[in-house]
Amino acid sequence: MSPRSIALLGNPNVGKTTLFNALTGLRHHTGNYPGVTVEWTAGSWVLDTATVELVDLPGTYSLAATSPDEAVVAATLQGQAGRPAPDALLVIVDASNPERNLYLLSQVLELGVPTVVALNMVDVAAAKGLEVDAGELSRALGVEVVEVRADKRRGLDALAIAVSKAMQAGLAPPAPGLSSPGDQERSVDVIRGRYAWSRRMLVNALRRPASPLRTPSDRLDTVLTHKVWGTLIFFALMATAFQSLFTWAQPVMELAEKAVNQLGSTLLAGFPASTLKDLLADGVFAGAAGVLVFLPQIAILFLFIAILEDCGYMARTAFLMDRLLSPLGLSGRSFIPLLSSFACAVPGIMATRTIEQRRERLITMLVAPLMSCSARLPVYTLMIAAFVPARRVLGIFSLQGLTLLGMYLLGALVAIPVALLLRRRLISGVAPMFLIELPSYKWPDLRSVGHRVWSQCKAFVVQAGSIILSVAVLVWALTYFPRPSVELNQAFDARRAALVSISDVSARQVADKALTQEQRGAELRQSLLGRMGRGVEPFFAPLGWDWRISMAALASFPAREVVVATLGTIFNVDAESDSQGLRVTLQHAKREDGQPLFNLAVGLSIMVFFALCAQCVSTLAVIARESGHWGWAVFTFTYMTTLAWLGAALTYRIAIALGGA
Amino acid sequence: MTLDQLEDGRSAQVLALRLEPSRAMRLMEMGLMEGERVTVLRRAPLGDPLELQVGDFRLSLRREDARGIEVQP
């Protein structure tokens, strides 16, 4: 027999997740409700008599469904969400805001399911001068009311006993009888009736001061939302977050990547040379490194978000930034996800979870990859250093710097019409109202913060990681097969044997390395990917590209920065150790007719293409996961590739016309 | 007058919600309805949205929605 299940529900911002974590520990399982992108989380709660399953429902103000979250709560309570109806309900009530919290309770009590109330945030209430007597409230309601401090793990045993008793008795709670079947639940009279009931229930249970007290949280809010100070503090916080994502995560990322590759080569050292060894080393381990490399940024961003959200500041960031984003059909809640995407779209898209409105969340997710992420930087730097003249403009600005700035602006500017079009065309329906509660400030609960960071990292590795790894292996196979012909290998073997005649040891090593590089280039050029490069050459010709550039662009599907290493291999240079050499090689590369392959126009067209394209399988995997549909990932890839191609072709034409050849 | 015209720090009584029905209902469910008092605490640095005190909690609404809330200071 499956364990009995208890649903935990309550308003948003009442410490529900903290209570859930306190009751169930760290072992949770999650899943998606069928058809909607709302996630459920469940864990085991040990009561004195039995272990039950506790299901954490999304925070909701009402059971009269207006949002997907609320619809899920209502459906779950009636057993219509692909899970059996709960055997008992645990409703968490915020003592600092009792009337509005009892509004939801009045609807819950009418479901006829055994119910227990957990009275939380008594400390916040005390700061406001509000005092709620749990005993009096319990007498008025006719259900058990247990005072808890979720953050301090207090009152949890009493809560377990109350729930277990209520479940054993199995009695329906006294219904407030405020709406009879057939009544319009959201009629003015019913809503009024519910608030009147809330006040009746609180007559003896609630004591409030003669006039409202000014709390430390109120004083803090005055500063943090102040026109000058609030704005300054906000930008200082954002700068710190961005800096840590962009710069501080870098060494950890490199370390993670190196460690995995090192582990791979150590483990595989004893293996005889074989296809399997190559697959493991260059496909699987390199792919795994490509997954783990995202973890430092995801961890840092979610540490930051979890702290801001838990202490109540997250809602203020939406309040402060809303005006900037409302013209795009977005709201202030999109600011942090979009800003983070300038470092990396993967954590940025994951951060859209903080946006409650589905439409807004989807638009943010779909334009986030247009923000110029750090993986584009190697492409920009290589092309700028090689093909943009180091000139001054108007005496002070460097042309190279301006080009880089232009690349960063390009994505952000293109995102504006894309967001507007998405709002009008693709995602229909009435725009929901911007309405956010600004909760009281409190110290973040470190256990909840840690738990959030951990679960996000885990979800990424498990769900997006497998897709990223598969694509890495697939692209490896395209560059690996077919194996070079016997003649090609023999030719290189003969040349390698001839190197013995070089007497100077270091000169011989240099020659040997160059030969290895040349052999890798020759192998890549005859691989499946090389043939695909020739196949798509006509498609990329309007961009000024030849088959070698086309092939490097194809090879960069797993991640944009791969294009640099691939260009290196194609042109027989080790891009990692010899960036100078790669630059010079590219400057001198020739087309088959002897014309220079690259010039300013081609360099710009490559940069614009990479600024706008979706050559990043990790981003696409995360979009698929977070939106709940592969279709959105396909859509993103299609629209971005189209924009990238058009933008690059246009740039090439204009640059040629202006004499950039 | 409407709520968006109320100065920072002033409170008023709600007379009517002239909003699209689902928006009006949502506000009522949160306790912002005819007869209740509401205070405009401040506006965001860029002038929009507003920060309001409704009952025992704080809420942020855009000016376009505040324009639909008729109040009596």
Residues 6 or more apart in contact with residue A635 via CB below 8 angstroms: A366
Query: Could you tell me which chain B residue has the CA closest to the CA of A441?
Result: B58
Compute the mean pLDDT over every residue in chain A, rounded to the nearest whole number.
88
Give the side-chain half-sphere CA count within 13 A for A602. Answer: 22
**pLDDT range class, residue A333, cuts 50, 70, 90:** very high
**pLDDT beyond 70 at A186:** no
Per-residue model confidence (pLDDT) at position A194: 93
With the CA atoms of A97, A99, A104 and A107 taken in that order, what torsion angle do they form, in degrees rounded to the nearest 10? 160
Contact A100/B33, CB-based, under 8 Å? no
Provide mean pLDDT across the span A345-359: 89
**pLDDT beyond 70 at A262:** yes
Per-residue model confidence (pLDDT) at position A482: 86
Which of A438, A441, A442 to substitute to test the interface with B, most B CBs within 10 Å?
Answer: A438
**pLDDT beyond 60 at A181:** no
Per-residue model confidence (pLDDT) at position B4: 95
Tell me if A13 sits within 8 A of A59, measured CB to CB: yes
The pTM (predicted TM-score) of the whole model is 0.87
**pLDDT range class, residue A348, cuts 50, 70, 90:** very high
First to last CA, chain B: 8
Which of B57, B63, B65, B69 to substitute to test the interface with A, most A CBs within 10 Å?
Answer: B57
Per-residue model confidence (pLDDT) at position A97: 94
Provide mean pLDDT across the span A548-556: 91
pLDDT in tens, A193-227: 999 999 999 999 999 998 888 999 999 999 999 99
Give the side-chain half-sphere CA count within 13 A for A115. Answer: 26
Provide mean pLDDT across the span A624-632: 91
Amino acid sitting at position B51: E
Q: For residues A299 and A303, what is the distance between their CA atoms, to the nearest angstrom?
A: 6
Which residues of chain A approach chain B closer than 8 Å at the C-beta? 61-62, 64, 66, 96-100, 103, 128, 130, 186, 188, 191-192, 195, 221-222, 225-228, 230-231, 315, 318-320, 322-324, 326, 430, 433-439
Nearest CA to CA, how far is A173 from chain B (Å)?
23
Q: What is the secondary structure of A625-636 as a DSSP string? A: HHHS-HHHHHHH
The residues in B 35-54 lying below 8 A from A, measured between CB atoms, are 41-42, 44-49, 51
Query: Could you tell me which chain B residue has the CA closest to the CA of A436?
Result: B60
pLDDT in tens, A412-460: 999 999 999 998 876 666 677 888 999 999 889 888 899 889 988 988 8
Nearest CA to CA, how far is A326 from chain B (Å)?
10
Contact A435/B59, CB-based, under 8 Å? yes
DSSP classification of residue B69 = E
**pLDDT beyond 70 at A242:** yes
Residue with tokens 């093909």: A387
Per-residue model confidence (pLDDT) at position A183: 53
A129 vs A390, higher pLDDT? A129
Whether the CB of B16 is below 8 Å from some CB of chain A: the reply is no
Nearest CA to CA, how far is A267 from chain B (Å)?
57
Tally Cβ neighbours within 10 Å of residue A497: 9
Per-residue model confidence (pLDDT) at position A1: 52
Provide mean pLDDT across the span A340-358: 90
Cα–Cα distances in Å, from A382 out to A247, A343, A386, A614? 19, 19, 6, 19
pLDDT in tens, A123-165: 999 999 999 999 999 999 999 999 999 888 999 999 999 999 9
Identity of the residue in A64, A231, A437 whose CB atom sits nearest the CB atom of B59 = A437
Which of B20, B29, B37, B53 to substitute to test the interface with A, most A CBs within 10 Å?
Answer: B29
| Report for A260-274, A519-533, B57-71: range of highest mean pLDDT | B57-71
pLDDT in tens, B3-50: 999 999 999 999 999 998 888 988 999 999 999 999 999 999 999 999
Query: Could you tell me which chain A residue has the CA closest to the CA of B46?
Result: A323
Nearest CA to CA, how far is A6 from chain B (Å)?
25
**pLDDT beyond 90 at A594:** no
- Name every chain B residue with its beta carbon within 8 A of the beta carbon of A98: 56
- % chain A with pLDDT above 90: 46
Residues 6 or more apart in contact with residue B44 via CB below 8 angstroms: A225, A319, A320, A322, A323, B50, B51, B60
Cα–Cα distances in Å, from A201 out to A5, A93, A142, A174, A193? 28, 13, 10, 13, 12
pLDDT in tens, A520-545: 888 888 899 889 888 999 999 999 99
Whether the CB of B65 is below 8 Å from some CB of chain A: the reply is yes
Query: Could you tell me which chain B residue has the CA closest to the CA of A234?
Result: B45
Provide mean pLDDT across the span A79-94: 89
Tally Cβ neighbours within 10 Å of residue B18: 11
Contact B33/A98, CB-based, under 8 Å? no
Nearest CA to CA, how far is A71 from chain B (Å)?
14
Per-residue model confidence (pLDDT) at position A118: 97
Strand partners, A29: A42
**What are A126's two structure tokens?**
């005390």
Tell me if A217 sits within 8 A of A440, measured CB to CB: yes
Contact A323/B57, CB-based, under 8 Å? no
Per-residue model confidence (pLDDT) at position B40: 96
**pLDDT range class, residue A320, cuts 50, 70, 90:** very high
**pLDDT beyond 90 at A65:** no
